[in-house]
Chains A and B, each alone.
Chain A
Amino acid sequence: MANQQPNSGNPRVDIEYRRKKSAEEMRHQVITFALMIFLTIVAFVAAGYEGFSGWFIVPFILILALVQVIFQLYYFMHMSHKGHEAPSLFLYSGAFVGFITIIAFLTVIWW
């Protein structure tokens, strides 16, 4: 069986180690979540603020969305873990085709 647990010869120690590792990861997840909430609030405030022009707000909130999605993919969906080479290929290929589609539709209505 392809089991990737660390092996110290003492199963009890290994379990403790894994528990600590995953508790630590869960703490990082909560921090990620706090950052995502923060980015969301910044985006909503920026969009609601009258003083900024659309030429600033639109690229700004798009960048915030992109950062938030990267957090979601790499931390919540574990793409930062090992063994995610194929998922990255699939997702980035999809994102690439999607990007081309959006560019095509936007340039079609440009004028």
Chain B
Amino acid sequence: MATEQKMTYETWPASPEKQTLEAKNKFLGFWFFLGGETVLFASLFATYLALKDKVPSSDMALAKDLFEIPLAFIMTMLLLTSSLTSVYAMYHMKNFNFKKMQLWLGITVLLGLGFLGLEIYEFNHYVHEFHHSFTSSAFGSAFYTLVGFHGAHVAFGLLWITTLMIRNSKRGLSLYNAPKFYVASLYWHFIDVVWVFIFTVVYLMGMVG
């Protein structure tokens, strides 16, 4: 079956993300990449845990002085909800409903933007109110590397999904672009997986002490 072939609601297969060889390779390769990402983030978590609260002088802010429950909670809710909205997008993709898929992807992007905005506010707040910066202490370096790397993943995910939406806006769904949307949504879920550990290990454990 040609990947560019015009599909209809009737001919759309049950697993459009895995119909072609290219799609199957993409699926496998992407999960391999996620395995690698797991190792990458685990080493950043390990570094953070080892360097947490390691500051050169006693008047510098520690984790328990910095983090606030409400902000971390709102950010978590935004990202968690965006994970559900991208599930909705893939649900509509499987039902060959391009417009609704685009709509839910759009909502996902907006929630992701909200998350990113709050993270920028948060970092800015730490730097200006607490003088907690990337170079101020080992704690600061480890914190901004871990959380910043996650933030960069969010930014990249937003760019990726937006690009796919714009590039395919006039094409509609095909077996060529369905795997692209599917893989991008996997990436978005993985960002949420990492965030679950960040809010637990960095924010909640930081507040506990």
- B37 CB-CB contact with A under 8 Å: yes
A4 and B16 CA atoms in complex are apart in Å by: 10
Inter-chain contact count A-B, CB under 8 Å?
Answer: 144
Interface size class of chain A, counting residues whose CB lies under 8 Å from the partner chain: 35 or more
A2 and B201 CA atoms in complex are apart in Å by: 44
* A86 near B28: Cβ-Cβ < 8 Å: yes
Given contacts A1-B1, A104-B46, contact A15 B190 (CB under 8 A): no
* A18 near B14: Cβ-Cβ < 8 Å: yes
Q: A91 — nearest CB in chain B belongs to which residue?
A: B35
* B35 near A94: Cβ-Cβ < 8 Å: yes
- B107 CB-CB contact with A under 8 Å: no
Q: Known A-B contacts: A33-B87, A57-B208, A76-B83. Give 8 more (CB < 8 A).
A: A22-B91, A40-B77, A48-B69, A57-B204, A62-B201, A65-B201, A87-B28, A101-B39
Given contacts A91-B35, A94-B35, A106-B49, contact A2 B19 (CB under 8 A): yes
* B204 near A61: Cβ-Cβ < 8 Å: yes
Given contacts A57-B208, A65-B196, A102-B49, contact A29 B87 (CB under 8 A): yes
* B208 near A47: Cβ-Cβ < 8 Å: yes
| A-contacting residues, B46-71, CB 8 Å | 46-47, 49-50, 69
Chain B residues within 8 Å of A48, by CB? 69, 207
Interface size class of chain B, counting residues whose CB lies under 8 Å from the partner chain: 35 or more
Chain A residues within 8 Å of B131, by CB? none
- A8 CB-CB contact with B under 8 Å: no
Return 18 A-B CB contacts under 8 Å, by A number. A22-B95, A40-B77, A40-B199, A43-B199, A43-B204, A44-B69, A44-B73, A47-B208, A58-B205, A61-B200, A61-B204, A61-B205, A62-B201, A87-B31, A91-B35, A98-B39, A102-B45, A105-B47
